[in-house]
Amino acid sequence: MKWACITDTGLVRILNEDSYCVSPEDCFFAVADGMGGHRAGEVASQMALRLLKQALDRRLKGGEKADRALVDSIKEANDAIFELSAGKPEWQGMGTTATACLKRNGEILIGQVGDSRAYLLRGNQISQLTEDHSLVQELVKNGSITEEEAFTHPRKNVLTRALGIGQFLEVDLYHCQVWPGDLLLLCTDGLTRYMRQEELLVSVNSSPNLDTAVRDLLKKATSAGGADNITIILVEF
C-alpha cells in the first residue's frame, strides 16, 4: 500500500479547519471539514478524527465487527463533540464532516457524514463512493436542479448532516471491493467545489506518482479560486 496526503488553508481562509488521519498500519484513512466560529471548526474536526480512531481501535480490539465498529465510533465522536459544544458558549453549534475508510481484506468500508467525499479510481474510470449530505444534493435528488447546476450552485456548502450538531446522528456506510492498483481518493469540498470527477481522474492519471498527484490537485483547486481549505488523501492498494 502506498499513500500521499496534503492539506492547505487555500487563498481566502485564515485558519485551516480541515483535519486528516492517516494510519496505514491499520489500513485507516479519514478526512474531516470543520465548521463554526472562534476556532470551533478546527476543534471539531481534530477532535472527531482523534476520538473516532481511538474508539475504532478499542472496538476492533474488543472483537466488534468492523462495519459496526466504524459506524459506532463515528457516533461516539459525535456525542463527545456535542457534549463539549454544549458546555462552551463560544463553541456552540460547532460541527464537522467526516469520511473515514477502513480496509479489511479485499474490501474498504466507508463511514460518512457531510460532504467530504471518497472516490475509487480504477484504470480510466472514477466512481464517487459517497453521497453528499447537503442541500444541493437534495435538490439534485428531487429533480429541482441538474448535476451541472449543482456544481456552481451558490449554496452548495449548506450541509444537511454533520457531526456535533445534534445528539442523534445517522451515519452512511458503504462497502466497496478493491483490487491491486485501485486508488482511493478522500477529499474535503475545497477540492470538489472546483474540480469535476472527470478532471480528478485525468489529473491523477497524468501524474507520475501519488505525491505529485496530490500536489497537482491542490494547485489546480487553488488556481481555480481556493476559497476554502483543501485536504486530499490518495491511497494506492
* 73-96: pLDDT as tens digits: 999 999 999 999 888 888 888 999
Question: What pLDDT was estimated at residue 87?
Answer: 86
Question: What pLDDT was estimated at residue 36?
Answer: 83
In three-state form (DSSP H/G/I as H, E/B as E, the rest C), the secondary structure along 127-175 is EECCCCCEHHHHHHHCCCCCHHHHHCCCCCCCECCCECCCCCCCCEEEE
Q: What is the pTM of this model?
A: 0.96
- Buried b / exposed e across 92-127, counting CB within 10 Å, b at 16+? eebbbbbbbbbbeeeebbbbbbbbbbbbbbeeeebe
Question: What pLDDT was estimated at residue 51?
Answer: 98
| pLDDT beyond 90 at 66 | yes
Question: In CATH, which superfamily holds the domain spanning 2-229?
Answer: PPM-type phosphatase domain (3.60.40.10)
Burial of 207 from C-beta contacts in 10 A (0-12 / 13-18 / 19+): middle
Question: What pLDDT was estimated at residue 186?
Answer: 98
Could you tell me the residue ranges of all domains in the chain?
A: 2-229
Sheet with 2-8: strands ordered across? 2-8, 230-236, 183-187, 117-122, 125-128
Query: Which tens digit of pLDDT belongs to each residue from 98-111?
Result: 999 999 989 999 99
**Which residues touch 151 (CB under 8 Å, ≥6 apart)?**
196
Judge whether 99 and 116 are in contact, CB under 8 Å: yes
Burial of 181 from C-beta contacts in 10 A (0-12 / 13-18 / 19+): exposed
Question: What pLDDT was estimated at residue 157?
Answer: 81
Query: Which tens digit of pLDDT belongs to each residue from 161-178?
Result: 999 999 999 999 999 999
